[in-house]
Amino acid sequence: MENAYTAKAYSAASETAPLAPDTVPRRNPTDRDVQIEILFCGICHSDLHQVRNEWGEFMPTVYPCVPGHEIVGRVTKTGPAVENFKPGDLAAVGCMVDSDHTCPNCQEGLEQFCPNMTLTYNSPDKHLGGVTYGGYSDSIVVDERFVLRVPENLDLAGTAPLLCAGITTYSPMRHWGVGKGQKVGVVGLGGLGHMGVKFAHALGAHVVVFTTSPGKTDDARRLGADEVVVSRNQDEMQKHAGSFDFILDTVSANHDINAYLALLKHDGNLTLVGAPEKPLALAAFSLIGRRRSLSGSLIGGVAETQEMLDFCGEHNITADVEVIPIQKVNEAYERLLKSDVKYRFSIDMASLKSG
Ligand SMILES: NC(=O)c1ccc[n+]([C@@H]2O[C@H](COP(=O)([O-])OP(=O)(O)OC[C@H]3O[C@@H](n4cnc5c(N)ncnc54)[C@H](OP(=O)(O)O)[C@@H]3O)[C@@H](O)[C@H]2O)c1
Ligand SMILES: [Zn+2]
Ligand SMILES: [Zn+2]
């Protein structure tokens, strides 16, 4: 293709294949495009769901699939109409790379709900045809309107996960007004959960972590939790009945949400951000007795993502990461399934050059 160049990447060839070295086409930067050399890319549990086609009913995976939507890097080239970036700048890309910019959602800064939004991977690619390819790659080319600025004081490996795990937990907390005087629960201490704890703490709430992993208790406190509950312990759960203003549920697998709804006060809200493969069972009485509400949330808009990054810059917040070379990505996926990550894998993309 004349309008494209070849980038190195890791892709999955089918839902049962491990990720393996590959090459993908990337468009040469057009007018508004920013070309970024990727330095770090976080591993989100959504990458694993998508690679294994676990969301087949809603968004079937197109193979080969190059996942990765927690991207930080340096600008290498810009199109002539680009205004806010120049070669050498730090830059970041999250879960979206385009939208129609005209619909009511886009007008409101809620590009994540745009009916014509393009996801960073596995979405129809308007420029080259086929689908978009994500950040497990040495470079990416993105419309400047979806490229974020990175505060200079933050560690880059720990900044990458902010682009999904960060915004996905920050956005619902802002929407539901998490702040001082509130009791806030975070269910699941993985990539999203540990960011949720950091944000709820920074926003001034009393934070309670619910975990199935007793070994994470000390870390939960270090990350900002005031209390930690091992959720398999019924007595410990019962002590918190009817006491929460807000609970953020980040669990990636099937679990009993009614047990958490029972912990909300009247008018309390539980927001699901975890996206398990199978439907969750809801008991009507979990909600109606106390006018509780159950809702969901999807990442966040571009402006809010920038606000979150700036908030992280001011409060010196990054993800706690285990940096890995890309050659270890399949092993990392297996560990993710065992809740064995502290608390986000971040791929050092320099490893792709050598491998
Ligand atoms: N809504 C959005 O916009 C959005 C964005 C990104 C990701 N997601 C989704 O959010 C979910 C979490 O992503 P992540 O990257 O944070 O995953 P992760 O790092 O694997 O964390 C998930 C955590 O859930 C808990 N957990 C796992 N299996 C469990 C089970 N069977 N029962 C109870 N708890 C269990 C574990 O915490 P403990 O060890 O503490 O129990 C685990 O660390 C995924 O489904 C992902 O696709 C949604
Ligand atoms: Zn994600
Ligand atoms: Zn739109």
Ligand 1 atom nearest 272 alpha carbon? 1
What confidence score (pLDDT) does residue 2 get?
81
Q: Decide: 225 and 197 in contact? Cβ < 8 Å.
A: yes
Q: Decide: 315 and 334 in contact? Cβ < 8 Å.
A: no
Q: Over the chain, what HEC string results?
A: CCCEEEEEEEEECCCCCCCEEEEEEEECCCCCEEEEEEEEEEECHHHHHHHCCCCCCCCCCCCCECCCCCEEEEEEEECCCCCCCCCCCEEEECCEEECCCCCHHHHCCCHHHCCCCEECCCCECCCCCCECCCCCECEEEEEHHHCECCCCCCCHHHHHHHHCHHHHHHHHHHHCCCCCCCEEEEECCCHHHHHHHHHHHHCCCEEEEEECCHHHHHHHHHHCCCEEEECCCHHHHHCCCCCEEEEEECCCCCCCCHHHHCCEEEEEEEEECCCCCCCCCCCHHHHHCCCCEEEECCCCCHHHHHHHHHHHHHHCCCCCEEEEEHHHHHHHHHHHHCCCCCCEEEEECHHHHHC
Residue 96, beta-bridge partner list: 119
Ligand number nearest CA of 67 is: 2
Give the integer Cα–Cα distance in Å for 25 and 8. Answer: 9
Pick the residue whose CA is nearest to atom 4 on ligand 1. Answer: 273
**Best of 70, 119, 251, 272 to mutate for ligand 1, by most ligand atoms within 8 A of CB?**
251
pLDDT tens-place string over residues 26-80: 999 999 999 999 999 999 999 999 999 999 999 999 999 999 999 999 999 999 9
pTM passes above 0.95:
yes
pLDDT tens-place string over residues 284-298: 999 998 999 999 999
Residue 42, beta-bridge partner list: 346
- Average the pLDDT over 331-337 and give the result: 98
Which residues, 6+ apart, have CB-to-CB distance to 241 below 8 Å?
Answer: 262, 263
Give the integer Cα–Cα distance in Å for 228 and 127. Answer: 48
The alpha carbon of 150 and the centre of ligand 1 are apart by a number of angstroms equal to 25
The alpha carbon of 42 and the centre of ligand 2 are apart by a number of angstroms equal to 9
Q: What separation in angstroms does the CA of 251 have from each of 109, 223, 254, 255? A: 27, 18, 8, 8
pLDDT tens-place string over residues 190-214: 999 999 999 999 999 999 999 999 9
pLDDT tens-place string over residues 238-273: 999 999 999 999 999 999 999 999 999 999 999 999
The alpha carbon of 216 and the centre of ligand 1 are apart by a number of angstroms equal to 14
What confidence score (pLDDT) does residue 165 get?
98
- How many Å is the maximal CA-CA distance in the chain? 65
Ligand number nearest CA of 167 is: 1
What confidence score (pLDDT) does residue 40 get?
98
Phi, psi of 20, rounded to the nearest 5 degrees: -145, 160
CA end-to-end span of the chain: 25
Ligand 1 atom nearest 275 alpha carbon? 45
What confidence score (pLDDT) does residue 154 get?
98
Ligand 1 atom nearest 251 alpha carbon? 24
The alpha carbon of 252 and the centre of ligand 1 are apart by a number of angstroms equal to 4
What confidence score (pLDDT) does residue 209 get?
98
Of the two residues 315 and 2, the one the predictor is more confident about is: 315
Pick the residue whose CA is nearest to atom 35 on ligand 1. Answer: 251
Ligand number nearest CA of 274 is: 1
Question: In terms of C-beta density within 10 A (0-12 exposed, 13-18 middle, 19 or more buried), how is residue 267 classed?
Answer: exposed
Give the integer Cα–Cα distance in Å for 254 and 226. Answer: 26
The alpha carbon of 44 and the centre of ligand 1 are apart by a number of angstroms equal to 9
Residue 67 structure tokens: 């996942």
Residue 332 structure tokens: 């990392």
Q: Decide: 300 and 112 in contact? Cβ < 8 Å.
A: yes
Ligand number nearest CA of 45 is: 1
pLDDT tens-place string over residues 273-285: 999 989 999 999 9
Ligand number nearest CA of 302 is: 3
Residue 73 structure tokens: 């890097």
Q: What separation in angstroms does the CA of 177 have from each of 109, 170, 172, 204, 324? A: 18, 11, 8, 11, 36
Q: Residues enclosing ligand 1, CB less than 6 A?
A: 44-46, 49, 164-165, 168, 188-193, 211-213, 216, 250-253, 255, 273-275, 297-299, 336, 339, 341
The alpha carbon of 312 and the centre of ligand 3 are apart by a number of angstroms equal to 27
Give the integer Cα–Cα distance in Å for 90 and 36. Answer: 9
Ligand 1 atom nearest 192 alpha carbon? 16
Pick the residue whose CA is nearest to atom 37 on ligand 1. Answer: 188
- What residue type is assigned to position 226 of the chain? D
